[in-house]
């Protein structure tokens, strides 16, 4: 009797389980059994539009490989569409466009995109003679406090999130006529970034603002006499070496500071694992620049066939550097945060001078 009772209960339980399974699988009134219900909902792909300051030829090196890598590794969860200099909006309007959400992210130096007032200290990163070598930039950010200052400054700006800064190329003059002494700078119409332009007016330079893509034609038509924008690697890469036959080996910056930014609302919608992936891809871009520029600057000076090198004697160039330190004082007086950044530059460079070669 116990065995019969057990079998009866087991049969009833099996029937109940079967009925539940049939219902779950979508049993039809006709008695036919449907296939198990499967969710057909597709995950929404996050799409971003990112604009760089760089034109197509330069972007092939300084950002495109890292964005291609991100899109591949994101595996369909997110896609970043890359746009080049002035392609969606003029470079000088990038900051506002990002704030408004017209674009989702930007790669540029703080100076060129006209950052909002609370971040004025960040434009100090483009100050003449603040850095001498490419490794100065990551050292200043990761060991000397610039990371914290940049983050603090951008936290005060609505709608924009600063993500990372890295070392870009040095800033030399490439010109139509040779520069052999400081007085040769007088009257030259030079394409450069705002802070450098303001400084160079002390030596009679006439700063000219143009869309990046118009620069080469402007040199050919005589509207420009040259540039103070990049190192020799970039001159060859983007075609400027074809129209400016002279390269001045003295520079006003050993490595300028460039950053990645995102619209705050767009960044908040990105899952944490994709945020981490994007930051890793940014780091890969920073790393690529370090060795690409460093190798190119040396090789093209020695083996490049298009540009003749000129040099202003060190003693005379020292007068330009001394003037830069006065320029720092003026910047430091504009705000406590600017003063803090300038003091970091002073302390860092003083330490490097004491350390001596290969640091200075």
- pLDDT tens per residue across span 204-239: 999 999 998 899 999 999 999 999 999 999 999 999
pTM reported for the whole predicted model: 0.85
Cα 271 to Cα 74, 77, 106, 185, 205, distances in angstroms: 11, 10, 19, 51, 48
| β-bridge mates for residue 173, sequence order | 228
The domain tally of the chain equals 1
Whether 282 contacts 192, CB under 8 Å? no
Residue 301 lies in a domain: yes
Angle between helices 272-303 and 64-73 (to 10 degrees): 150
Whether 115 contacts 153, CB under 8 Å? no
Backbone angles phi, psi at 164, to 5 degrees: -170, 150
| β-bridge mates for residue 162, sequence order | 261
pLDDT in tens, 9-34: 444 444 444 444 334 444 444 444 45
Query: Domain limits at 295?
Result: 46-171+253-355
Residue 162 confidence (pLDDT): 96
Q: Mean pLDDT across the stretch 177-194?
A: 97
Residue 218 lies in a domain: no
Residue 139 sits in a domain whose CATH number is 3.40.190.170
Whether 239 contacts 219, CB under 8 Å? no
Whether 209 contacts 236, CB under 8 Å? no
pLDDT in tens, 241-294: 999 999 999 999 999 899 999 999 999 999 999 999 999 999 999 999 999 999
Separation of alpha carbons 289 and 52, rounded Å? 15
pLDDT in tens, 35-77: 555 544 567 999 999 999 999 999 999 999 999 999 999 999 9
Residue 24 lies in a domain: no
Residue 119 confidence (pLDDT): 76
């Amino acid at each position: 009797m116990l065995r019969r009772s057990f079998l009866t209960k087991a049969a009833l339980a099996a029937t109940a389980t079967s009925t539940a399974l049939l219902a779950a699988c979508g049993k039809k009134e006709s008695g036919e059994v449907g296939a198990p219900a499967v969710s057909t909902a597709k995950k929404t792909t996050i799409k971003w539009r990112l604009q760089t300051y760089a034109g197509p030829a330069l972007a092939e090196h300084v950002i495109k490989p890292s964005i291609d890598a991100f899109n591949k590794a994101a595996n369909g969860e997110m896609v970043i569409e890359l746009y080049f200099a002035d392609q969606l909006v003029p470079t000088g309007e990038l900051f506002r466009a990002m704030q408004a959400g017209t674009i989702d992210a930007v790669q540029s130096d703080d100076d060129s995109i006209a950052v909002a007032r609370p971040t004025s200290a960040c434009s100090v990163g483009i100050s003449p003679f603040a850095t001498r070598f490419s490794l100065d930039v990551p050292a200043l950010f990761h060991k000397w406090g610039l990371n914290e200052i940049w983050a603090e400054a951008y936290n005060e700006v609505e709608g924009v999130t600063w993500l990372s800064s890295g070392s870009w190329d040095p800033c030399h003059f490439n010109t139509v006529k040779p520069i052999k002494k400081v007085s040769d700078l007088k009257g030259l119409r030079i394409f450069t970034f705002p802070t450098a332009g303001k400084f160079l007016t002390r030596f009679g330079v006439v700063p000219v603002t143009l869309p990046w893509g118009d620069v080469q034609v402007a040199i050919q038509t005589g509207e420009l006499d040259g540039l103070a924008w990049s190192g020799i690697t970039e001159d060859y890469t983007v075609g400027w070496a074809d129209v400016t036959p002279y390269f001045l080996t003295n520079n006003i910056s050993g490595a300028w500071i460039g950053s990645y930014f995102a619209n705050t609302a767009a960044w908040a919608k990105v899952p944490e694992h994709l945020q981490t992936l994007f930051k890793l891809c940014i780091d890969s871009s920073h790393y690529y620049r370090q060795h690409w520029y460093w190798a190119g600057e040396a090789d093209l000076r020695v083996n490049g066939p298009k540009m003749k090198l000129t040099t202003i004697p060190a003693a005379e160039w020292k007068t330009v550097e001394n003037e830069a330190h006065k320029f720092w004082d003026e910047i430091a007086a504009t705000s406590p945060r600017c003063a803090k950044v300038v003091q970091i530059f002073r302390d860092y460079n003083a330490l490097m001078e004491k350390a001596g070669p290969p640091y200075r």
